[in-house]
Chain A
Amino acid sequence: MYSKNIDSYKDHLRNYAYEDFLLAQGIETPSELHGIIDKFDVSKVIYFLKNICVESVMDVSVSFSSSKELLKERLAVCQLLLKIDKENTSSHQEEIKNISRELAIKDRMREIEKSKIYVDVDSVTEVASKSLKENFARYMSFIKGGISEKDIKVRSTAREKLGQGDVTGLLNLVLPENEINAILESMVSEFRDQFVSSTQHGLDGYLSTRIRHGTLSGHIRRPLEANSNLITNKYSDKGEYKKNEYWIARIGLTDKKQTDRLSKAFAEFSKEFDDLIKKIISEWIQVKKSQNDKGLIDFSLRKYNFVYLSSLVTVETTFEQFLDQLFAHFFDILDASLVSIRNGLNLEIKPEVNRLLTDLQKDIESICSDYDITELNNTISRARTDLQNSLDRVIEWFRLSRSTKDEPFGVEEAINISLASLEASGYSITTQVDISEEMDNFKIQGKLPSFVDILFIILENVARHSAISDTPEANIKVKFDDNILLFRVENEVAASAITAEQRNKLSGIRKALQEKRFLASVTKEGGTGFYKIQKTLSHDFRPLKSDFNPKLDFDFFGDNQFFVEVGIPIHSIVSVSEN
């Protein structure tokens, strides 16, 4: 009552009373009360469970180690309430449903973040099996038929060096130039190209869709945008940064010289920060295939790669084993590259963003010395910590995760996860979702990241391109249409965004898609969202039956609306019925 009617100063006493009560019963968590409820007046237990055993009270207890554990306890409390508080069944059921959804989204988000670094191993295997088998057979005929003394010596020395862990020794070895080694080099290079740069199933396409195309920038910028207003956007791609009207007004600056100086400080900060993000995207998260390429994901093949791989092949090596050796080797290379990126983000980017914020703070203190800038200083301090946390989250993307959960999911879940991903990337939209009833028991096995790839791009476009000044709204409808799972997303667009130039741009994209001229754009960023959607549809959801193909359509309609329609053949999805 004190807390509700006066202030929160004594809330900690309520929280300690909660802990002391549980301790007196010999239990640590409120859900354990189920065994001893009969000791108490049930109405008091209901009050306690409903109003006291909430996250904001329970989180001071040392009995929980994570927000997930806390949520699970609240779920258990609600399940207990369902048993003893029959009068309020529907509100408890609603809370159980909301908590279960929140827990599922947390789990799935983790899955999505672990899938940022991805190679479609099945597809690479399928293509490599067709393109390399013949050459492998020729290679093996040489191996079995007898190779030169030189070749034998290099291979056996390599095995020796590997056994001794003598990396320097291994690096100094070179295979002789001859036909057998030319075949090996050709197979390894071809495999590398499929693994890394195939626009359909290679690493680079997924890097572009899942990291470079807005997600990374959104994540890192987020602590400086929304609630902080420390960074602004440019007027246009090559233009100046917008004035930071928010802080100019909050501080109450009136002098034009001071306003200009403060605007300049914020603009410089915004530019330097965005330049840092650009550097990460264009110089670090790029695949390097030759010495002249930029990128920390270094797949440029050197002599020792071929020496190492040649040492693994014996007269008994099968083609499948050879493919396994190639995969293992290239995943090792990828692992090492990811370490470079993580180190770069930790050791270079984190200190650099700190420096930028410190310099901004110094500039502000000097420009606004006769104003109260407590709020701004606090905001910068908070943003500093939040930025570190965002960077830590991004750093975790660059870890190789070989196994992914394959739990079935529903369409609503896929939409919720896409929205959570969008929010985590700093975009804000509202949605009206209408999923047809026939989907109630329809669950999909696998391909959750592919669904999120498509939905994220569509919803990100709504957030970024609708030009609505308030939070844009997306209307999402999902239904079965013949043998297609059909998503239709509609949103309002500001009149200023519906220009002849935009219409022509969309026509150009539709034409390129119809003429199948889009794959080269899949690994690029900037105006490539629809190409990425098409690539995901035609590769990840390629139909088993040829009469049903994935569908992608989009255009302006009405006075100021835009729609995107995506149709996924049901035959390309493994569905699990829930009874």
Chain B
Amino acid sequence: MNVLIVEDDEAKRDQLKDFFETQIEDPLVNCKRSLQGGLKEIISGDYDLIVLDMSLPTYDIGGGEDGGRPQSYAGREILRQMDRREINKPVVVVTQFDKFGKGADSLSRNALDDQLQKEHKQNYLGMVYYNPAVEIWKKDLIKLLRIIYR
């Protein structure tokens, strides 16, 4: 199974990579670190599952690049762009935040999950809350993965 993880937090990215490499059959796991990095890879690649962080920098940070505009809803943007391009691959969002955006633009995790369920019925599987201190996120991810294997 080809899995793409789009995640800028290195420790979380490594944990997710380890998880998928041990939990799924014939894993081929690739990682990207930004909205644009992830989007370009989704457009050019062929993945069976896409795992998105919600908040991401626009560009890969490093080598003099500061990442550009931090995007609180980068995961949602990627889902929308996939719709636009008719890329209908299963998507899971794994986030360590309870709240996104600022002011009038802000949404709770549950409200965002609802919104994504409505907007992306075809391919959005669900949202998993990631807390590095506890491993419940792994069980939650396994539950969502079972949807793909049905």
The residues of A with any CB-CB pair to B shorter than 8 Å are 7-8, 12, 16, 55-56, 59-60, 62, 64-68, 70, 106, 109-110, 113, 350-351, 354, 358, 361-362, 374-375, 377-378, 381-382, 384-385, 388-389, 392-393, 396
Contacts and interface: CB of A to CB of B under 8 A. Distances in A.
B63 interface: yes
A64 B58 CA distance: 10
Given A62-B40, A374-B99, A385-B9, 17 more contacts: A55-B68, A56-B69, A59-B68, A62-B36, A62-B39, A67-B58, A67-B59, A106-B64, A109-B64, A351-B11, A358-B133, A361-B131, A361-B133, A377-B98, A378-B97, A389-B8, A396-B63
Contact of A378 (B36, B62, B80, B98): B98
Nearest to B132: A358
Counting chain B residues whose Cβ lies within 8 A of the other chain, the interface size class is: 20 to 34
15 contacts: A7-B105, A8-B104, A55-B68, A62-B43, A67-B67, A354-B132, A361-B133, A378-B97, A381-B96, A382-B55, A384-B96, A385-B9, A388-B11, A389-B61, A389-B67
Contacts of A393: 62
A381 B9 CA distance: 9
Interface of B: 8-11, 35-36, 39-40, 43, 55, 58-59, 61-69, 77, 80-81, 84, 96-99, 104-105, 131-133
A106 B62 CA distance: 13
A356 B132 CA distance: 12
Contacts of A358: 132-133
B10 A55 contact: no
A358 B96 CA distance: 12
Given A62-B40, A67-B66, A388-B11, A12 B77 contact: yes
A362 B10 contact: no
Contacts of A64: 36
Nearest to B69: A59
Contact of A60 (B9, B81, B97, B132): B81
Contact of A396 (B8, B62, B69, B132): B62
A62 B81 CA distance: 10
A319 to B, nearest CB: 39
A65 B59 contact: yes
A463 B11 CA distance: 33
A388 B77 CA distance: 24
Contact of B11 (A56, A60, A70, A354): A354
Nearest to A70: B68
Contact of B65 (A55, A56, A66, A375): A66
Contact of B68 (A67, A374, A378): A67
Contacts of A385: 8-9
B143 to A, nearest CB: 22
Contacts of B97: 377-378, 381-382
Contact of B59 (A66, A381, A382): A66
Contacts of B104: 7-8
A378 B101 CA distance: 11
A159 to B, nearest CB: 39
Contacts of A66: 59, 65, 68
